[in-house]
Amino acid sequence: QLQLVESGGGLVQPGGSLRLSCAASGFTWNYYAIGWFRQAPGKEREGVSCITSSGGSTIYADSVKGRLTISRDNAKNTVYLQMDNLTPEDTAVYYCAATRRLRCQIWNVPGNYDYWGQGTQVTVSS
């Protein structure tokens, strides 16, 4: 059964850090690019970052550049999202998603992804 499971969310103070994980099972992980999206209450789901199947290339939304880092460990079937210097505007449910594309073409369109996790809540508040 194809499955993506996110973990690592929680409550953090402004300026703090979190590391999200996305663990995959049931499919050939190495052939999928992986994206991270987030959705805040009342807002559309937006792309945060994407990493190619090999992990050799990454891309970020302008709003998170320099603060978030995506990486993957294909041996562990896991993708990570290191989030630093968090602000209240980062509060959202974070989702990982897998696309059969090897690279991050049109990476920030949710419809281009084939599999989704259930999401993990990130709350940035003092």
State the Cα–Cα distance between residues 70 and 72, nearest whole angstrom. Answer: 7
Question: Tell me: the pLDDT tens digits for 95-124?
Answer: 999 999 889 989 999 999 999 999 999 999
Closest by Cα among 59, 63, 39 to 49: 59
What is the pLDDT averaged over residues 10-32?
A: 93
Token look-up 């499919």 returns 27
Q: Report the greatest alpha carbon distance in the chain.
A: 41
Question: Tell me: the pLDDT tens digits for 56-69?
Answer: 999 999 999 999 99
* Helices (runs of H) and strands (runs of E) counted in the chain: 0, 11
Residue 97 has a pLDDT of 97
Residue 37 has a pLDDT of 98
Q: How confident is the model at residue 26 (pLDDT cuts 50, 70, 90)?
A: confident
